C-alpha cells in the first residue's frame, strides 16, 4: 500500500535576514550569513523550501568568564583570556557566527567602559571574518552605553546587537539604525509579546529584515517544551501569513544548558547520572537539537564537542 504524505500549502514565508557585511557591502566580513526563507515547518523538505540550514554561533566573552563551568573553560583552554584568540578557536571549532558577550565589570570590580567595549569588538572583528553578534551585559544603562559605542565602532558591519526587550529597546534600535546593524528582540515565551516587540521595533523604522527574534529558550528539563511550543506556534503563525511573526529565531541554548545542575555539578549527584562531562555535553546537544526541530534559525552554543554533534545533526536533517 502506498502512503500518501499530506502536504500543507502555506501562504507565508520566513523573512531572510543576512548577518554581516562584506567589503562590497560596506563591512569587512569575509562573507555574510543568511537565515530564514523557509516556506514550510522545520525540515519538511518535501513540502516547501528550506534555503538555509540552522546556523551555529559560538559564544565567547570579552574576558575570562567567571561563572562558566570548569568543563567549558577546560575545553577552550587558554584562549578564554584572549577574545581574539578565542574567536579564532571558535571559528575552527565550526562556528558560523561569533557571539561576543560583553561583561558589566572588569575582574568583578571596575565597570567595563565604552573604550573597552570598542576595543574588544575591534579585536574580534580583526581576528575573524565571521559575522558578529554582540550582546550587552544585560543591564539597561550599561547595555545602552556600550552597545551604542560598539555600533559606532563597527559601523556598517551589520552586527546583530542584543538584547532588545520591551523595557529597553529604543536606544539599541536607534544605534542599529544609525550604523546599519541588526537587532535581536527577546520576549518571555509568549507569541503575542514577541509580535508586539517586533511591531514596536519596526515602528521605529528598522526594516523587518534586520530583526531576529529571541522567544527565550529553556534547557532540557527546565521548561524546554514550553519554549518549543511557543517557537512552534510562532513559526506556524509565520507560515500562515502573520507578518509580524515571520522573523528568524535565535536561541541561547549554551547559556541555558550550562546553568543547570545536570551540566554544572560533577560531585554529589546520583551515580545513575553517569559521567559528568558526557552528561553536560549531552545536555547542551539535546537542548540544541530539540529547539532546532522547533524552528530555531540561530543557536548560540558553548562547548566545542556539542557544536560538533549539533553540526552532524544539522547536516543530516538538511540531507547532506
Q: Which of 191, 211, 253, 310 binds another protein (CB under 8 A)?
A: 191
Distance CA(27)–CA(158), nearest Å, equals: 7
Minimum gap (Å) between residue 231 Cβ and another protein? 12
Helix and strand totals (H; E) in the chain: 11, 12
Binding of another protein by 281 (CB under 8 A)? no
Minimum gap (Å) between residue 232 Cβ and another protein? 10
Binding of another protein by 270 (CB under 8 A)? no
Minimum gap (Å) between residue 178 Cβ and another protein? 5
Binding mask 143-162 for another protein (x = CB under 8 A): -x---x---x----------
Binding of another protein by 49 (CB under 8 A)? no
Distance CA(265)–CA(262), nearest Å, equals: 6
Minimum gap (Å) between residue 240 Cβ and another protein? 7
By DSSP bridging, strand 97-101 and strand 132-135 are parallel
Angle at 182 between CA 236 and CA 122, to 5 degrees: 140
Q: Which residue, 121 or 144, is less far from another protein as judged by CB?
A: 144
Binding mask 230-249 for another protein (x = CB under 8 A): ---x--xx--x---------
Minimum gap (Å) between residue 154 Cβ and another protein? 13
Binding of another protein by 170 (CB under 8 A)? yes
Q: How many CB atoms lie within 10 A of CB 11?
A: 8
| Residue 297 CB-density burial (10 A; 0-12 exposed, 13-18 middle, 19+ buried) | buried
Binding of another protein by 203 (CB under 8 A)? yes
Q: Which of 173, 250, 251, 310 binds another protein (CB under 8 A)?
A: 173
Binding of another protein by 190 (CB under 8 A)? yes
Q: Which residue, 41 or 301, is less far from another protein as judged by CB?
A: 41
Long-range contact set of residues 236-243: C-beta below 8 Å, sequence gap at least 24: 236/41, 237/191, 238/12, 238/13, 238/14, 239/10, 239/11, 239/12, 239/13, 239/14, 239/38, 239/39, 239/40, 239/41, 240/10, 240/11, 240/12, 241/10, 241/11, 241/12, 242/12, 242/195, 243/12, 243/208
Minimum gap (Å) between residue 192 Cβ and another protein? 5
Contact, 35 vs 55, CB < 8 A?
Answer: yes
Minimum gap (Å) between residue 218 Cβ and another protein? 14
Binding of another protein by 115 (CB under 8 A)? no
In sign, the C-alpha dihedral spanning 238, 241, 245, 248 is: positive
Minimum gap (Å) between residue 282 Cβ and another protein? 30
| Binding positions for another protein, rule: CB under 8 A | 144, 148, 152, 170-171, 173-175, 177-179, 189-193, 196, 199-200, 203-207, 233, 236-237, 240
Amino acid at each position: 500500500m502506498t502512503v500518501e504524505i499530506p502536504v500543507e500549502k502555506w501562504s507565508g514565508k520566513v523573512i531572510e535576514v543576512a548577518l554581516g557585511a562584506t567589503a562590497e557591502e560596506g563591512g569587512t566580513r569575509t562573507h555574510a550569513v543568511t537565515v530564514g526563507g523557509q516556506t514550510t515547518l522545520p525540515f519538511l523538505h518535501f513540502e516547501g523550501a528550506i534555503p538555509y540550514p540552522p546556523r551555529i554561533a559560538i559564544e565567547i566573552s570579552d574576558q575570562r568568564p567567571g561563572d562558566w563551568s570548569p568543563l567549558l573553560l577546560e575545553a577552550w583552554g587558554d584562549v578564554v583570556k584572549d577574545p581574539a584568540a578565542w574567536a579564532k578557536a571558535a571559528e575552527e571549532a565550526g562556528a558560523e557566527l561569533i557571539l561576543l558577550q560583553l561583561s558589566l565589570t572588569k575582574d568583578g570590580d571596575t565597570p567595563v567602559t565604552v573604550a573597552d567595549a570598542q576595543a574588544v569588538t575591534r579585536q574580534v572583528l580583526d581576528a575573524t571574518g565571521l559575522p558578529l553578534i554582540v550582546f550587552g551585559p544585560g543591564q539597561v544603562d550599561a547595555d545602552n552605553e556600550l552597545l551604542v559605542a560598539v555600533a559606532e565602532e563597527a559601523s556598517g558591519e551589520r552586527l546583530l546587537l542584543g538584547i532588545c526587550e520591551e523595557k529597553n529597546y529604543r536606544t539599541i534600535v536607534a544605534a542599529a539604525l544609525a550604523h546599519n546593524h541588526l537587532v535581536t528582540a527577546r520576549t518571555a515565551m509568549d507569541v503575542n509579546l514577541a509580535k508586539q516587540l517586533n511591531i514596536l521595533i519596526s515602528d521605529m523604522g528598522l526594516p523587518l529584515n534586520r530583526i531576529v527574534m529571541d522567544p527565550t529558550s529553556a534547557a532540557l528539563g527546565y521548561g524546554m517544551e514550553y519554549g518549543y511550543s511557543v517557537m512552534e506556534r510562532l513559526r506556524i503563525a509565520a507560515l500562515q501569513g502573520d507578518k509580524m511573526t515571520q522573523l528568524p529565531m535565535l536561541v541561547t541554548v549554551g547559556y541555558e544548558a550550562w546553568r543547570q545542575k545536570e551540566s554544572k555539578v560533577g560531585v554529589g549527584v546520583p551515580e545513575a547520572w553517569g559521567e559528568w562531562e558526557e552528561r553536560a555535553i549531552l545536555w547542551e546537544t539535546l537542548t540544541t537539537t530539540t529547539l532546532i526541530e522547533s524552528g530555531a534559525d540561530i543557536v548560540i552554543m558553548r562547548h566545542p564537542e556539542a557544536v560538533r554533534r549539533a553540526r552532524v545533526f544539522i547536516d543530516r536533517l538538511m540531507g547532506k
